[in-house]
Amino acid sequence: MDDDRWRDLIAVARLDRGDVTPALLEGRRLAVYDTPGGIHVTSARCSHGGADLCDGYLDGFRIECPLHQGCFDIRTGEATGRPATRPIRVYACRVVDGIVQIDWT
């Protein structure tokens, strides 16, 4: 069944509006972004210095790492600002009955 791949992550009501909210799933820390263009989910760890992107600065669809100010596009995971050069993981997500779910395959 296709729905078996989706996992509940966090209630929409718990998200920091217009910002990034940390969430845990099976021991993995994730970053959940509430933007005017929708909700997005990535790994919370910067691919450059390992800092927590949940402590970063969100500007539109761009998250800036709090450690070295590397930037990533939260829609694609692409590194968009040095010193970051490697992408971060992006998870497909959806909202069902007020809960953010991610594709956990």
Transcribe 52-77 into DSSP letters: BGGGSEEETTEEE-TTT--EEETTT-
- Residue for token pair 């539109």: 60
Residue 105 placed within a domain: no
Read off the pLDDT of residues 11-30 as tens digits, 9 standing for 90 and up. Answer: 999 999 999 999 999 999 99
**pLDDT of 80:** 96
Say if residue 1's pLDDT is above 60: no
Read off the pLDDT of residues 53-71 as tens digits, 9 standing for 90 and up. Answer: 999 999 999 999 998 999 9
Tokens representing 82?
């040095």
CATH of the domain at 34: 2.102.10.10
Residue 104 placed within a domain: no
Residue 68 placed within a domain: yes
Residue 18 placed within a domain: yes
Residue 6 placed within a domain: yes
Cis peptide preceding 83, ω within 30 of 0: yes
User: Is 54 or 1 the better-scoring residue by pLDDT?
Assistant: 54
Number of independent structural domains in the chain: 1
**pLDDT of 50:** 86
**pLDDT of 43:** 97
Say if residue 2's pLDDT is above 80: no
Say if residue 3's pLDDT is above 80: no
Domain assignment of residue 73, given as a range: 2-97
| Buried b / exposed e along 51-62 (16+ C-beta atoms within 10 A) | bbbbebebeebb
